[in-house]
Amino acid sequence: MRYIQIKIHASRQGIEAVTPILFSYGVTGYSVDDPADFEGILNKKEEYEWDYVDQGLLDAHMGKSAGREPVLTAWLEDTDENRETVQSIKIDILKLKAEEQYHTFGADADFGRLYVETETVDDEAWKDKWKENFKPSKITDRIVVKPTWEPYDAKAGELVLEIDPGTAFGTGTHETTSLCMKLLEKYAADGEAAVGVPDCQRVMDVGCGSGILSVAAALLGCRYVLGTEIDSEAVHIARENVALNGVSENVRVIEADLLNGVNYKADIIVANLMHDLVIRLAPEAIKRLDKGGIFISSGILLEKRDQVAEAVRAAGFEILEIPEDGEWCAIAARKLDVL
């Protein structure tokens, strides 16, 4: 199969501005090669944060990264429709550059070159390329996410989650996934958190993608986990990852559009989606939660935070916290006992 490879050269601020454009065309899977990420690794203070970096990879990137802009790379199947989509993306990015030059985003905005290059490639040329940069990573205090093809020696107290995302979203390294996983650990882990659900047993993972959050919930001690996913291929991948981690008795993955047709009551619902889907989901989520249940949502750009938070409150939740990571945030909310 042939694919259109899109590379966008921009500053870090420019990459953040481009991402919503891609999302508007349904392009949610991409990779970002940012030299600053590797510089950040060098500045880490905690010794454990170095344990998950391949030194050869680090040396190679640091050797060629000086003065280089970040590069966002995405792929679309090579079809007539997607070729038109690529042209529309290019036009929107040209408009974005013009808006930057006219100081629409303020005099200090610097989006970099915003240069777009495309080429058509065979899937064999790229489909496994991203694996070179996917290494074991400690996502929360307890959970380490490890790709299936990488060795890892677990330390005492660590929960190792093996994952092969295939074509599904969810490696744990994206800010939206890590925010969800940290909140899930905080509110569900063995019922230990004072603000969490005592003895949390039932979790629902809406739009589960690769199944990474469903598996995490099971590893954290939740006995009944239901993942829903609209993409049939992602359902297949999620089920494989559930089996790979030995939690098939605890986790079930079904094909569904959000919660449509799903009859399930949960202690916690987690949803790593886009902001408009979170808004759409909130009124249904509260019906599927027991009193005091927790609704964890992410995939929310900071600029959409207040809009989503208001929708969550309007559905009958109280906001517990809104942690941020880069341009993204997550919302943890509790179902009010009066409902």
Per-residue pLDDT tens over the stretch 47-59:
434 444 444 445 5
Per-residue pLDDT tens over the stretch 283-319:
999 999 988 899 999 999 999 999 999 999 999 999 9
Query: Rounded mean pLDDT of 35-42?
Result: 59
Query: Rounded mean pLDDT of 230-259?
Result: 92
Identity at 6, one-letter amino acid code: I
Do 173 and 105 lie in a common domain?
Answer: no
117 is a domain residue: yes
Do 197 and 306 lie in a common domain?
Answer: yes
Do 83 and 143 lie in a common domain?
Answer: no
Domain enclosing residue 109, as ranges:
2-34+70-130
23 is a domain residue: yes
Per-residue pLDDT tens over the stretch 11-22:
989 998 999 999
> What is the CATH number for 190?
3.40.50.150
44 is a domain residue: no
CA distance 169 to 140: 19
When divided into structural domains, the chain yields a total of 2
Do 250 and 168 lie in a common domain?
Answer: yes
Using the 8-state DSSP alphabet, how is residue 193 labeled?
S
Do the Cβ atoms of 328 and 176 come closer than 8 Å? yes
Q: Is residue 61's pLDDT more than 60?
A: no
Where a domain ends, among 130, 147, 167? 130
Do the Cβ atoms of 168 and 202 come closer than 8 Å? no
Do 150 and 265 lie in a common domain?
Answer: yes
Q: Whole-model pTM? A: 0.64
CA distance 183 to 196: 10
50 is a domain residue: no
What share of residues in the chain are helix, strand, coil (percent, to 5)? 40, 25, 35
Do 227 and 285 lie in a common domain?
Answer: yes
The secondary structure of 110-138, three-state, reads CCCCCEEEEEEEEHHHCCCHHHHHCCCEE
